Homo-oligomer: A and B are copies of this chain.
Amino acid sequence: MAPAEPNHKPFQVQGELPTFEEEREGWKGYIEWERYPEKKRKAADILAKYDFPVPPEFQFEPLPKSNPVLEGVRWKHYHYAMGPTISNMPDISWDYVKKEKSEDMIHVLQFPYNGEPPRKRLVETEITNNPDFFVRNHGGIPEIDSSKYYFEVEGLVNDPKKITLELLKDESVFPRQSTVASLQCSGTRRIEQIHEYPGDGDELINAPWGEGAIGTARWTGVSLKKVIKYCGGLKDDGAHLEFFGADTYFKKGEVYNYAVSVPVRKMKINEVLLAWEMNDEPLPAIHGFPLRVVVMGYIGARSCKWLTRINVINAPSMAPVQMKEYLYYTPQMGKQNVTYSSGFSIQTMPVSSAIMTPVNNDVIIHDGTITFTGWAFSGSGWPERVEVSNDGGGVWYEVPDENLSKKYFHAWRTWSFECPVDAEGWLEFCVRCWDDALNTQPTYVRSAWNWDLHVTSSCHRVKIYSVNKSRPNTAKRLKQFEERGLPFLPLTRPVPFDLETEEDYLKEMQKRDGRDPTE
């Protein structure tokens, strides 16, 4: 388990632990809240009795070097307080991480589980294999017997239905759709904002994501459009599709089921899929088994997992994840003045990109070129061009088209580039993408800071210490290290031998006419 957070304290039951019933047979860890206002009130009353541990400070402080980076104690306690139906969620979730995800994942938050794969591997293939696919969960992982699985369609549809997985898979009823699509968390690259410009702590913890909160899979299932049609179509004022998950969500002392919404327009253009397969395999539990939503080009948060219900409504969902979170604020909004209505809703993901290798602060010994790899993505289109700068954003080099992976309507492109590098010392490299609509990225993270630390889409920068061994003086120095059997790294380890003999020094000084000017 993760090291204890500094504000950790042991969980202590206040009063008696409640027992909330499982909602459905064959489903474990699913408490239905939204249909039972009294149950919600009861849960709020229970939560009000607790003084939950405060999330740890990690924005004004260095990030812990542990893995998991953060534990999520507060969130664990929320679950403990709800009694046995979901109090074992932190353990169950962590077991699924160990079972379904790669061993070397970077666990940015242990519970609810948030994790990303190592940078280098993520861009070695254009399709992300399932164990490497990032996970951004908002609660625990319900365990569902697929033979007992169904979801409901209700609200502003003409013919509300319950639909089982078996029915959904029946190709005589629903045609299949299989689409390669990237999913991205709006927290991707948040780490760049965190330490430069601390922002919303968020009780769930705004996880310190690196560049890996994005992944690409071939999703197979049924277009939601077909399902709505099967339910008799929308009523006239049906404007938004609200998705409910089986997971429990907490916000400011209230309890909810995870819920979000998308405009019906998105469904009508076949960009909302109900998927049971991820890269030709059944969905892993951690990714929503047996059925999840996949909304193409949108923030991952809309792609609801463990779908229980689709509710057609006449306006965006008032559920907290939709109304109160994933909002994009202007940089003068913050703790002192922010309101939910002052941010716009993050739905379509902007054009963005990242350098995955080398990583920030690497020291690279090279012959005049350094190889960069990375990804580029645009939620509203597709990457047309990727450019790398070797001087922080003045000169740009185009990544040749043959170094970009295949174009998909709804997916990223991975890329690699041999960048010319003449200069030595600390250099700043950055990348930007142009999509098919000529959108590109802000130049600096400074211009894109926002209180909730979402969508770090500015040009991604890495500082690299360049050692160009095609230069004679550099070759000579490296040889001195080699001859003495000494490592050149770490960079800041003092050079244990003299940098220049007195003789060479005096000769050079003479050439330069000494250190002093002349009268």
Contacts and interface: CB of A to CB of B under 8 A. Distances in A.
Interface of A: 54-55, 57, 59-60, 62, 196-203, 239, 252, 263, 265, 315-316, 318, 323-324, 331-341, 344-345, 361, 365, 423-426, 428, 446, 449, 451, 463, 465, 467-469, 471, 473-474, 476-478, 488, 490-500, 502, 504-505, 508-509, 512, 514-516
B494 A339 contact: no
Nearest to A451: B425
A497 B339 CA distance: 11
A504 B339 contact: yes
B197 A463 contact: yes
Contacts of A323: 505
B500 A339 contact: yes
Nearest to A55: B494
Nearest to A424: B332
A203 B337 contact: no
A163 to B, nearest CB: 27
A55 B488 CA distance: 16
Contacts of A203: 494
A499 B451 CA distance: 13
Contacts of A512: 341
A452 to B, nearest CB: 11
A65 to B, nearest CB: 9
Contacts of A474: 336-337
A427 B406 CA distance: 42
A444 to B, nearest CB: 10
Nearest to A476: B337
B340 A505 contact: yes
A425 B54 contact: no
5 contacts: A239-B516, A333-B424, A336-B478, A337-B477, A340-B505
Q: Is the interface of A mostly helix, strand, loop or mixed?
A: loop
A331 B499 contact: no
A446 B252 CA distance: 43
Contacts of A465: 198, 334
Nearest to A426: B197
A345 B517 CA distance: 13
A315 B510 CA distance: 11
Contact of A59 (B55, B337, B344, B492): B492
A490 B336 contact: no
The interface centre, meaning the residue of A200, A488, A499, A514 with most chain B CB atoms within 10 A of its CB, is A499
B516 A199 contact: no
Nearest to A344: B515
B471 A424 contact: no
Contact of A338 (B426, B499, B514): B499
A340 B476 CA distance: 15
B500 A334 contact: no
Contact of A57 (B200, B201, B492): B492
A365 B337 CA distance: 12
A31 to B, nearest CB: 23
Nearest to A62: B62
A512 B315 CA distance: 13
B57 A498 contact: no
The 7 closest A-B pairs by CB, nearest first: A341-B508, A201-B492, A62-B62, A339-B500, A337-B473, A336-B467, A197-B426
A491 B339 contact: no
B340 A494 contact: no
Contacts of A55: 493-494
A489 to B, nearest CB: 9
A361 B199 CA distance: 12
Given A60-B490, A500-B341, A423 B332 contact: yes
A495 B335 contact: yes
A505 B343 CA distance: 11
A478 B471 CA distance: 60
A74 to B, nearest CB: 10
A389 to B, nearest CB: 14
A50 to B, nearest CB: 13
Given A335-B488, A336-B477, A505-B341, A60 B361 contact: yes
